[in-house]
Amino acid sequence: MTEVRGEAERLHLDAKPAALEMQVQRTAVVVVDMQNDFCTPGGSVETAGFDLSLVRSIIPAIADVLSCARSIGLQVIYLQHGYRPDLSDLGPPESRNAIAHLAAGVGTPFAAPDGSMGRIGVHDTWNTQIIDELAPQPGDVVIRKNRFSGFHDTPLESTLSSSGIETLVVTGCTTSICVEALVRDAMYRDYRPIVLSDCTAEPQGQANHDASLAIIESTLGWVSESRHLHAAAEALRPGPETGSPT
């Protein structure tokens, strides 16, 4: 059960380049694109020849972070990348977004592992469904997007503004593309983005992951780890009551 938290309660998070103090009611955990196409064996990324092991390895850590976040009253927001069935939101044929995604097979019929007939990168199919291990819970927010950044042509900013959110704790994939795009746009809008390094991953290789974390730490935001969030949350929890002396 989610505990009700007071407006003044604060998390003290160890991070780089400097520790942060975050107000509980003004902080959200964002899960970027943890969906079947990108994360599940038999999905389109694996069938295209990419190694899913790095992305699969972060699922337990994200699950633990989400449990922790819900227990102390942090908002949880999922970003879900995909397109309309007619691909009308893909962009003009000569746009880089359209070229890149069509090359990746977006819109192609796909025999999904669950027996359904999906389509690569199309909403309301198995392909874009958030993975079962991280399924949204009541009270979570799911926002669909059609570009790498979750701020482009989505209600993300209005959702954050209406809730008074100032700080984003970012998890998901892929570090060098959609995660970094989100962080850049968050920084431009004066949010405070914090990437949890053990809750983000990159199927194109560890070097891309490390390079993105380096630029985020130096210029765009902050980098921390899930253990530091757990420690910060634990510090909020009341200790055992002590009895009155007799």
Residues 6 or more apart in contact with residue 75 via CB below 8 angstroms:
27, 28, 29, 69, 141, 163, 165
**Across the strands, what pairs with 23?**
10
Q: Torsion over CA of 134, 3, 13 and 173, rounded to 10 degrees?
A: 10
Distance between CA atoms of residues 84 and 99, nearest Å: 16
Residues 6 or more apart in contact with residue 39 via CB below 8 angstroms:
45, 52, 55, 56, 59, 131, 173
Whether 145 is catalytic: yes
Whether 114 is catalytic: no
Whether 132 is catalytic: no
Identify the active-site residue in 145, 173, 185, 199. 145
Within the chain, residue ranges assigned H as helices are: 36-39, 44-47, 53-57, 59-72, 96-103, 156-163, 180-188, 206-215, 226-236
Identify the active-site residue in 173, 178, 185, 199. 178
Identify the active-site residue in 33, 37, 173, 185. 33
Catalytic residues: 33, 145, 178
